[in-house]
Structure 1
């Protein structure tokens, strides 16, 4: 396992975020989408009476409150740039709030890495992560298409076949999601953009209620608890090793307060982690990468470049042309794989 981890490059990114915003005059979601010139992946109307989103088929109802989703912002400056595209319609004085966010932890390979190794890394994420739900992980591909997994080998094959792993109910306030990412918007990615990915989505009561000012300086290291992993002990005998390998997850479950739930011992007492497992070296890597994300998030665009959202550069006239290669390009300034966890 350590050999696999040391061969990969890791990065933490914001996959998307949703903001509740207000407009100066009543309008419709598709008008905001058009004003954004590609900056918003969607704009969904909110009922002023209930404060809730309109049903999907009524999302373009005329209103002055909306949920807008910004896809793959690398920095907070890109959030401001997206909102500026609304011009005079954006009512900044009414306040804007973060309502949902999805953060991803990605593992990229090198020129010698194949998809099977990335699938093994994805399986490693899922098996070791502390889960946000007691609901057993779902292995799914299409709607109502699931697969029962009896071993780690079968899980790796399922990931190579396009299956994904969901932890928790898909509409819950906290949701984890792991998969082998080989395409984006149904378009194949180049091999060097393939990656193992685990995401956490926070919404509702689980989402930190942040104003735009708070969001600008948010410390993503606060999300480390969602990217903590356990690894199987190396000194297990044959039977213990087999039983541990057959466990779906080595991580524990996070309660509503994001504390590890207690595991009660048969002979009395309790513990917070499962037997025959220890803290994974991924924990320190994730902590450092989330801290790096914080620095990148708070920085300006740099190098005189226009902000980039969803894999495209934003220009005054809208998104630049060219194929979308990935939600977030690999960080070319990542240290080589020989860097030890904790070095920065």
Structure 2
């Protein structure tokens, strides 16, 4: 009973709340709508998975939460953290710099390019600690060595003095996690943190993230295209396609009761133990470029159950199927009067 009450309170007062986020990028060909009307929220100690193919807007959404989206990007909507709307803060202002790395941190997609080759690993981890936690360099050094030890790097005192090129891929990934966690953030954004790792190291990194989440009580936004990782790591899932969240629900609901044709296509493409299929199912075609597109379902050209005259004639509204399951698909309602109903 107490646990249920605590969960209800967390849902009523989420740690991070994103509402109607739009990110548009002016280009020579027109206005590229990288993200359109994205909304989600996450509570303390929970993990939200954001999944979808490359080009769906996952990474730029994560970067915008930190205020590090491209300088020419035009953004609108709100990003509330501790009753502060981050979206309204100046990208290089004092307020957002106090939040960036301290309250919200990010594990970037490619750790090999996230570290400067000119400075030691320890020096780069210390920089964030000196900015947000202490001004004492000796104390900051001890904190940096401690977090390197906690993420599983052996002989952290020696590794502290080494340069990025002296680290293996798996060690670089752990160092990237150490840097992100050095200031004990409230929200951790993990952008494809295991993509370049072999299966054994990937499992170790995922287990490490679980342990550190329990230790720090932080919320995690896990950006990935791997639904196997989503099943293992996440509490809720937001499926993105062409800059929009097309389905959002608890992880068990997504796997056992998917509603959007795109979500079903992603699930059918996962290898299954014991399956006798010679080939995995695939979603034909590619994600279209979101420039000068008419009002229609973004998945229309690739959808096998599309409704001609409906899906290609208007924007798809969000339909709330249950309290915690929403979908953008005309197969589940949302048509204007006179539209066809499946």
TM-score, normalised via structure 2 length: 0.23
Q: Which has the higher helix share?
A: 2
Higher relative contact order (CA 8 A, sep 6+): 1
TM-score, normalised via structure 1 length: 0.23
Q: Which has the higher strand share?
A: 1
